[in-house]
Structure 1
Amino acid sequence: MAVSILRRRQRTEGAERPTVVERRPSRWRRARPNPVSVAVMAAGWVAVAILGLGMLLVWGDANQGNALVGAVLDAGRWLASPFHDVFTQADPDRQLYVNWAIAAGVYYVLARVVSWLVRF
């Protein structure tokens, strides 16, 4: 945590002496993360990672018959289900990229806000 230091000149008994005034950071910067806020932020990052990995697997034409690829894509479909038809495109892969990217952004912002609110 960085503390900014201001120097002021103060006249005392004919001599100038610098005094150091420390400013405290604002309240939202002073709040320390607690285990609940860390868990909320970790869940948000996991959701973003699953959606991002799913987009990479679709972009790379991964074998969807593979158990690991299928599990990642199923989890991604479940996470992105509220954003399924936000934007419709002629190309289904492009539609997946756009909607899953929006879902990842919303999950990240939502996790940040909830994590910040839980800190107080």
Structure 2
Amino acid sequence: MIDKLSDNTINLDDLDQHNKIEHDVSLTRKDFYFGDNHTIDPELVDLLLVQNIDVKINKESFAKIHWIRYNNSKEFNPILSYAIKQKLLSAGESILLLNVIGGNTNLEIDIEKLKVF
């Protein structure tokens, strides 16, 4: 069983494959259907940043942006792929940011630090 688990590896090429790590409803990248789903989209970054609460991004901020992105994708992406795997990947974006960048500040990220990131 351990050998089978160790066979499940990822590499940097996986970042470019749709629905491996890259997924629809990303916080900062367009859905696969709309073309370039690898380049950070400045409009989506701005949309994320305006969800701040008292110049901090927290779990409520991420919840708001997630629903905005999900509803937009659901409305405009006819091939939206958002099953359990994509939901977990999507949640992982927020969790990673809150725990890594916001880990020392009660799981909040100062908006200026997030802009730098």
Shorter-normalised TM range: under 0.3
What's the TM-score, normalizing by structure 1?
0.27
Which structure has more relative contact order (CA 8 Å, sep 6+)? It is 1
Greater fraction helix:
1
What's the TM-score, normalizing by structure 2?
0.28
Greater fraction strand:
1
